[in-house]
Amino acid sequence: MSEGGGPLNAIVRYFPLQKPVIKKLTLTVLLILLIALAVGSISWLRSPRQEEVRFYNGEIVLAGTIYLPPSEGRHPVVIFIHGSGDDSREQYRFYANLLAKKGIAALIYDKRGVGASSGSWKLSPFGALADDALAGVHFLKNHPAIDAKRIGAWGGSEGAIIAPWIASRSSDVAFVIMQSATGVTFAQQNRYQNERQIRSATNSEENIAQGLAIIKLQSDYARTGTGWQAYAKCQASGKRKGLGFIARSNVAT
């Protein structure tokens, strides 16, 4: 090591005329690094906070995540309500994070029977899914970072049916956002959707009529719990005509 060692002095010794330039360059690099660290720290502090939560609808455990804005205080919030089929919180993380960056908290959760939530949506009546969402609203109402007077429900597709329904049942829901909502009853919408599917699979009016009969019997059984034998008989007959796919369609959830 030379006298007054160190990499900077070594460089200066070989390039004595450039000493002022090197010092200036060194200070510039250090300043850039400090600015980068400061910007990174500010960005981290402004990032939404995530909080893993669980809330309950009777014995059903709903697991979710709350995205909270980086600022302190109580915030407005949106609870995301699932569409049909297996639907988890993962579908909504992008939107929850975006809302939180804009100062609006968001609760996303796994549908019952999906992810870390207990139960089974396949074996539950339609109203049970609405009760799950209401349990989420009640949970948010008592959360210290949430403004209880500004709780909203966002629903897409099937969720767009549930969102206004829970708003009609609870004054705690201050606003509703519906995406891909239907302007008719769920039964009418379900029949229309399945009729389009049946007509795309067959041109036979006889098969179409039987397919619609299967849908009606299936829907009646799902709604009332009665009429299984009539449905099973009609469905078995339809399966022999290439209409077996109807039994795999989602009736209510």
Domain boundaries, the chain: 7-46, 49-179, 186-248
How much is the pLDDT for 151? 98
CATH of 49-179, one of 3.90.320.10, 3.30.310.50, 3.40.50.720, 3.40.50.1820: 3.40.50.1820
pLDDT per residue rounded down to tens, the chain (253 residues): 445 556 555 555 555 545 565 666 666 777 777 776 665 545 445 789 999 999 999 999 999 999 999 999 999 999 999 988 888 999 999 999 999 999 999 999 999 999 999 999 988 888 999 999 999 999 999 999 999 999 999 999 889 999 999 999 999 999 999 998 888 877 788 788 888 888 888 888 888 888 888 888 888 887 788 888 888 888 887 777 777 666 555 444 4
How much is the pLDDT for 137? 98
Question: Which among 138, 80, 144, 122 has a CA at the least distance from the CA of 252?
Answer: 122
How much is the pLDDT for 238? 76
Question: Which among 139, 138, 77 has a CA at the least distance from the CA of 103?
Answer: 77
Question: Which among 229, 193, 251 has a CA at the least distance from the CA of 237?
Answer: 229
225 close to 249: Cβ distance less than 8 angstroms = no
How much is the pLDDT for 251? 46
How much is the pLDDT for 252? 45
Q: What confidence tens digit (pLDDT) does each residue in 176-197 have?
A: 999 988 888 777 887 888 888 8
pTM of the model: 0.69
